[in-house]
Structure formats: C-alpha cells, structure tokens
Amino acid sequence: MKTPPSPLMLRLTRFVVGDQSLHKQLLLWLLLPQLVLWLAAAFVTYNVAARYANRAIDASLSQSTRSLARQIKPVGSGLLIDFPKAAIDIMDADPDDRVYYMASTPPGQYILGSSSKLPPPQLNGPPKLGEPYFYDAVVDRMPIRVAALYLAYGDAKSRQLILVQSARGRARRDELARSILGDTVLPLSGLILLMTMIVWAGIRAGLAPLARMRALVEDRAPNDLAPLRIEAAPQELRSLARALNDLLAAVHESVAAQRRFVNDAAHQLRTPLAGLKSQTELALGENVDAAQHQRLERVHESAVRSAHLVNQLLSLARAEPESALAQHSSRVDLREMAREVTAEWVPKALQASIDLGLDDAGDDARPVVVQGHPLLIREALQNLIDNAIRYAGPSSEVTVGVWRDGAFGVVQVADTGPGIPPDLHRAVFERFVRATHEGSGCGLGLAIVKSIAERHAGQVSLSSLAPHGLQVRIALPLVR
Amino acid sequence: MNLLLAEDDAILADALAEQLRHAGFEIEHAPNGAVAEFLLLKQSWDLCILDLGLPMVDGLTVLQRVRQKKPELPVLVLTALDDLQSRVAGLNAGADDYLTKPFDFPELEARLRALLRRSQSSPVANASMAMGALVFERDSRRASIDGAPLELSPREWTLLDLLLTRRDRVVTKEEVAQAWDSERAEPGGNNSIEVYIHRVRRKLEGSGLSIRTVRGLGYLLEALRPA
C-alpha cells in the first residue's frame, strides 16, 4: 500500500524539486548571488586581515633580528657575540607568546639561540645580505613566523655568512586576524539577513497581484465564465488578464450559442410533436383493427417519449447559469414546496397505481428555508417524483420527506420499487444514462436534478433501501 | 361552446380541432394572427386557444389587441415557449391560462372547462353538483345518493363540499380546518378530522365515490373505477 505523502512533505518536495514557481525562482536568483558575495567578502576580509597582522609582526621581528645581528661582531677570524642575559630573559619571558632566536653559520652550524632550532629560509639563488626574509614554519608543533637575516663577515678571502633568525608563535597573529574577521563578518551577516528579509517581503508584495489573480480564477465555479476584474491588476498582469478575459468571452459565446441552439431546437420540436401526439390519439379513438391499433399505440408511445425528452432537454437548459431563471433567487421553504409538489403529483401517481405520500412523522413543522431559484428546485423535486412514479412500478409506495441535517436542508424521495444496482449509482447522474430499459424515460432526470443541486451549492445522493427500493436525496445549504 | 383555435401548425390544428369537437366544442380555426384577430373581434366566442408563435401577427399582439375590446373572453395560451419570461409576458398580456406543447389532451380539456366555469360563474352554475350516484345541492343544502337523502352535520357538509369542489385533487388537513373555521362549524381539534373522514366515508358507501387518504398530506375524493 502506498501512503500518500503528508502535505508538508509535499510542499517541501515541490519547493526543492520543481514546479515552476516565480516566487521560488526570484528568491533563488536574488539570494544565491548574495550568499556568494557574502562568502567572497569573508574570504577577502580574512586574507586582508591576516596580511596586515603579518605585516605588523614582521616589522617587529625584523627589528629584533637586526638588534640581534648588531650584537654579533667579528673579532679577527672569530665572532664576538654580546648577548646580555637580561635580554634573553625578556625574550623567554612569556610562555604563551614564545620568542625564538638563533644565530648560525650555514650550513646549519649552530652558534647560539633558544632551545629549539629554527629552519632556514627556502632560498632561490644566493642569499641577499642585509635583507630580512619572512616565512612561516612549525617548531615544536607550534606554527611560527620567522624573520631571517643573512650577514657577511670577514674580508673577501675569508668571507663568512651568518644567519640570524628570530621568530614568534603565530597564535597571536591568527587571533588578531580572526578578531578582525569577526568584527567585519558579523555585521555583514546581519546586513545580509536583513537584506534577505527585505527581498522576501519584496517578492511577496510584488507577486501578490499574481496570487490574487490565481485566487480569482481558482475560486470560480467551473461554469462561471464572467470576465476577470482587471482594474486592480498591475501593468504586467493586465495583458495576461485581458487575454484570459478574451478567452473566457469566446468560451462563453460558444457555450451560449450551443445552449441557444438546444433551446431553439427543443422549441421547434414541440409543435410537430404535439401534432403527432394529437393525431395518434385521434387515430386510436377511431375504429381500426387490432394490429393497427397496436402499431398506433407504439407511435403514440414514441411521441410521448419524444415529448418528454424535449421537455427534459429544456429543463436542463434552464438549469444552466445563463438561463433567465438564474436571476430569480429567493428564499424557498423546502417543506412547503414538498407539500405542494407532492399534492400536485398525487393524481398522476394514483393513475399509475402508486401510493404517493409525504412523510411528516415525528417532525416539527418548522420551515426548512434555503436560498435558491424556486422554479428550479421545484423542477428538481418534480423530476425525482416523476422518476419514482415511472420506475417504481404499480402498487409501490413513494414517500417524500423533508428535514434538516446540520447546515443542510434535505428533500428525499424514497420508493419501494426495484431500485438501481449500486454499481450504477454514480452513472445514472450522467446525461442519457438509464439504469433500466423499462418505462419511457430519457436518462436526463437525475442529470437535471444534479445540475440544479450543484447550482445551489448542494448535493444529490442515491442509496438503496432494504429489501428493495431507492432513495434519492437532495441536500441544499440552509439559510442562516 | 364555440371556440376559436388559433394555431399555425396544420397537423396539430387538424388533430386538436377534431379532439375538441369530440369533446363537444364547436371549432373555428384561424391559421395566422391576422385571421385570428379578425375573427375574435367580429364574432362572439366562449373561448379561445391561442398559439404565441403565429405568422403575420404574433399571438401576444393579437392577445393585447383583443383584450382591449373583449376583456371578458377567456383565452388559453398554447405555446412551445415555456420559460419564465414567456409565461410572464403571456399572462401580462391577458392570458387566463398557459399550457405548453406538447400537452396531454385531458389536461387541456380540463383547463378549458375550468376557464369556462370561471367565466360563466353565475352562482347557480356551481350550486349543484353530481358525482357518481351523489347529488349535492348547495343552495338547498341537500345531498342524496341514488335519490335517498343523505344526513350530514355542518362539519361533514363542509368537508364533503371541499372534497367535491377539489375532486381528484388533494385536500390538506389544514384546508379542512380552515374551511371549518371560516364556516364557524362547531369547534373541534385538528385530529378529529380523521373521525369526520371516517363518518363521511361510511355515508358515501354505495355512491361510487371514495375518499382516499394521502399519506402525510390529506385526502382526495375520487370516483371508484369499475372493477
């Protein structure tokens, strides 16, 4: 079994994976560059901060290296190093920010220095004398910054190089760079966040007319073809709204033309059908032989059926929203209407040997008031009673009932006829679908009822009765 | 009864005229609006059946013109147009009744007779009624079955009167109660209607009439069909 995804998951997937949303696209195109810029700014800031921190440290290292170098004096062929104990103490004083120093004669002959040996600089070519080299290195697993100075002693013959190095831990420098970074990136992030919110709000505000238009289109009944209101739409949407309206108008026109045709055709059919009916009725009254009489009865039956069909087609056309009846909406008391219509149909029911009645057992006599088109609702009820009388068969009972069910007023017509098989309960609401070949129906009755109920924001439902029979219910929203 | 039938469809007009003749009317046929108007104004008629979609002069115009000269003439409009606007237009122009094609002849006949009754409603016309073996004389307040007088209390009389007037149609309990109230017959509750119906039923035995109970609505007087 597949479980349907939760609405939240659905929304998330839709947001991430696809479904072309302008909102999403705009947000993506505005926020992605911002994120890249933010990252670039952080990177650049960090590097600049590190460079300035290095420069400050390098300057002080350079100075201390030169001071150290000044203490080394050539004496004859040797070197005199005058390094006071006090200076050494000062340099070794701070254990967190250790200072390293070293003097050596390359390659690697140690003369003096702090406990750890400092690596020599990587040279390309001969060392430049008197110019400090700065580089990063690691000593005792501590990252350090080193300043190295090459000096030369002695005359041209016995020329000797001395490498003087001093170094400090890089911890201080990194800390400095980080604090500069922090000081810059934090306000920057705040700014970006603010920007994002403004962009979000801007997109929402900018796209609001689109959402409004969507709601306008979405909230419509499928058969509402009135044009959209375009005055409220911004410039960019107006052309779209106009195009939509043109389309709606075209559809409306063609639907109306089609309805007019059905209407006119039905009207045109009525007179000849009336003639056919009357002529056959006359002929039936004359003395004809039995076989001819039977044929004439068939012709008459066919005429009656055609007449019924034409009337039902017109009823269906009347139930459409464009019909003239659509303008006559008023309060309708279903109870009162059921009484009237049932009473009207009793003689016809008696002719068909059907016991038609109203079920008001245990009922309060309060009106059941709905808002609607009285003639249409009457037509729906008449169709239900007509159906019941047509199909229930002689000596069945047909009972009309009215009651309130929550926010709905319900009218029900129940019969004790053969009923309709449950698998046809849905199909019979479609036009020209009949559940039986008995009777002279045309398959439009329930379609008309459904159409009318839907026009009133109501519903129609069918259910079977035990041991046999059918009940059809119309539920229409009550007037509050 | 002479009746003018204004209908342009020859086949329908032919059959309808024949059916009406069978029903005891004298028929003149007008195939278009101009003829219909001429005949209606020149001669005197008891009734007119008027199609709205007539050639030359349409039925609505004929109706309006005739109404000015003959406001009394009962006119039944018979038309293929049954939407609300057409009905309203027809009734506004002065139609007394409105029937749409295709129709059932018995219904047309019943409506024509109702129109006639209304137009000739001298009090005498309604004074006495016969149905089955029952004769009901309103002015002398006497009823009889097969000549044998029928004793009826005021309430029973009112009840039977109502059922007879509305024969073959449903009379609701409310209508019975109202009739009793307006006649100031002896007071009684709504639920005693059943009692009176029962009594009247027994008194009607052998008259060929029966009072049928219509569930949830009321009662209906019908002639018993021969078995």
Instruction: Classify the complex by whether its ipTM is higher than 0.85, answering yes or no.
Output: no
Q: End of a domain among A177, A193, A209?
A: A177
Chain A interface, mutation test: which of B12, B50, B78, B162, most A Cβ atoms within 10 Å? B12
pLDDT confidence of residue A359: 85
Q: What is the pLDDT of residues B45-80, one digit of tens each?
A: 999 999 988 888 888 889 999 988 888 889 999 888
- Read off the pLDDT band of A400 (50, 70, 90): very high
Same domain? A438 vs A334: yes
pLDDT confidence of residue B6: 93
Same domain? B136 vs B170: yes
Please tell me the distance from the alpha carbon of residue A309 to that of residue A305, in angstroms, as a whole number. 6
Q: Tell me the average pLDDT across A259-275.
A: 82
Q: Tell me the average pLDDT across A57-67.
A: 85
The more confident residue out of A363 and B114 is: B114
- Please state the domain count of chain B: 2
Nearest alpha-carbon partner for A436 in A416, A449, A419, A455: A419
pLDDT confidence of residue A1: 45
Give the CATH number of the domain where residue A340 resides: 3.30.565.10
Q: Closest approach of chain A CAs to the CA of B205, in angstroms?
A: 20
Q: What is the pLDDT of residues A408-444, one digit of tens each?
A: 999 999 999 888 888 888 888 887 777 776 666 777 8
pLDDT confidence of residue B123: 45
Whether B102 and A270 lie within 8 Å, measured CB to CB: yes
A284's CB contacts (< 8 A; 6+ apart) are A293, A296, A297, A300
Residue B124 pLDDT exceeds 50: no
Please tell me the distance from the alpha carbon of residue B93 to that of residue A439, in angstroms, as a whole number. 39
Four-residue CA torsion sign, B154, B157, B159, B165: negative
Residue A22 lies in a domain: no
Extract the runs of DSSP E, i.e. beta strands, from chain B. 2-6, 26-30, 47-51, 75-79, 97-100, 128-131, 134-137, 142-145, 148-149, 170-172, 209-214, 218-223
Same domain? A372 vs A350: yes
Same domain? B42 vs B13: yes
Percent of chain A with pLDDT over 70: 85
* End-to-end CA, chain B: 34
Contacts of B14 in chain A (CB under 8 A): 275, 279
B126's CB contacts (< 8 A; 6+ apart) are B117, B138
Chain A interface, mutation test: which of B170, B174, B176, most A Cβ atoms within 10 Å? B170
* A contact residues 355-394, partner B, Cβ 8 Å cutoff: 355-361, 375
Q: End of a domain among B119, B138, B167?
A: B119
Same domain? B113 vs B179: no
Same domain? A319 vs A334: no
Same domain? A347 vs A281: no
Chain A residue at shortest CA distance from B167: A347
Same domain? B113 vs B157: no
Same domain? B96 vs B167: no
pLDDT confidence of residue A2: 45
pLDDT confidence of residue A237: 80
Whether the Cβ atoms of residue A106 and residue A96 lie closer than 8 Å to each other:
no
Contacts of B109 in chain A (CB under 8 A): none
Give the CATH number of the domain where residue B26 resides: 3.40.50.2300
Same domain? A243 vs A172: no
Same domain? B98 vs B63: yes
Same domain? A315 vs A338: no
Q: What is the pLDDT of residues A332-341, one digit of tens each?
A: 999 989 998 9
Whether the Cβ atoms of residue B145 and residue A321 lie closer than 8 Å to each other:
no
Chain A interface, mutation test: which of B83, B100, B219, B221, most A Cβ atoms within 10 Å? B83
Same domain? B12 vs B114: yes
Considering only A262-266, B18-22, B213-217, which range has the smallest mean pLDDT? A262-266
Cβ–Cβ contact B80 with A under 8 A: yes
The per-residue pLDDT of chain A, averaged, comes to 81
Contacts of A343 in chain B (CB under 8 A): 169-170, 172, 214, 217-218
Full-model pTM? 0.59
Facing residue for A274 by CB, picked from B12, B83, B85:
B12
Contacts of B172 in chain A (CB under 8 A): 339, 343
Same domain? A68 vs A121: yes
Give the CATH number of the domain where residue A104 resides: 3.30.450
Facing residue for B84 by CB, picked from A275, A276, A328:
A328
Q: End of a domain among A280, A303, A327?
A: A327
Between chain A and chain B, the number of residue pairs with CB atoms below 8 A apart is: 103
Cβ–Cβ contact A270 with B under 8 A: yes
Please tell me the distance from the alpha carbon of residue A315 to that of residue A456, in angstroms, as a whole number. 16
Nearest alpha-carbon partner for B58 in B29, B41, B72, B79: B79
Contacts of A351 in chain B (CB under 8 A): none
Chain B residue at shortest CA distance from A353: B225
Same domain? A293 vs A364: no
Give the CATH number of the domain where residue B188 resides: 1.10.10.10
Cβ–Cβ contact B83 with A under 8 A: yes
Whether A281 and B100 lie within 8 Å, measured CB to CB: no
The more confident residue out of B36 and B53 is: B36
Same domain? A282 vs A332: no
Residue A342 pLDDT exceeds 90: yes
Chain A residue at shortest CA distance from B213: A357
| Domain with A321 in it | 220-327
Nearest alpha-carbon partner for A68 in A76, A79, A57, A77: A79
Q: Tell me the average pLDDT across A249-278.
A: 84
Q: What is the pLDDT of residues B147-161, one digit of tens each?
A: 888 888 888 888 898
Whether B217 and A342 lie within 8 Å, measured CB to CB: yes
Q: Tell me the average pLDDT across A140-166.
A: 80
Same domain? A267 vs A378: no
Residue A111 lies in a domain: yes
Q: What is the pLDDT of residues B64-123, one digit of tens each?
A: 999 888 888 899 998 887 766 777 788 888 888 888 888 888 888 888 888 887 776 544
| Domain with B136 in it | 128-223
Four-residue CA torsion sign, B65, B66, B68, B71: negative
Whether A359 and B214 lie within 8 Å, measured CB to CB: no
pLDDT confidence of residue B125: 45
* B contact residues 97-116, partner A, Cβ 8 Å cutoff: 100-103, 105
Q: End of a domain among A145, A177, A209?
A: A177
- Please state the domain count of chain A: 3
Strand A369-372 to A355-359 pairing:
unpaired
Residue A96, sorted as left (phi over 0), alpha (psi -120 to 50) or beta, turns out to be alpha
Please tell me the distance from the alpha carbon of residue A436 to that of residue A130, in angstroms, as a whole number. 115
Q: Closest approach of chain A CAs to the CA of B173, in angstroms?
A: 12
Residue A196 lies in a domain: no
Same domain? A233 vs A297: yes
Q: End of a domain among B88, B119, B150?
A: B119
Residue A112 pLDDT exceeds 80: no
Residue A449 lies in a domain: yes
Same domain? A317 vs A345: no
Q: Closest approach of chain B CAs to the CA of A437, in angstroms?
A: 23
Same domain? B199 vs B135: yes
Q: What is the pLDDT of residues A74-88, one digit of tens each?
A: 776 666 777 777 666
Residue A373 pLDDT exceeds 90: no
User: Half-sphere exposure of residue B91, counting CA atoms within 13 Å on the CB side?
Assistant: 9
Chain B residue at shortest CA distance from A354: B214
Cβ–Cβ contact A310 with B under 8 A: yes
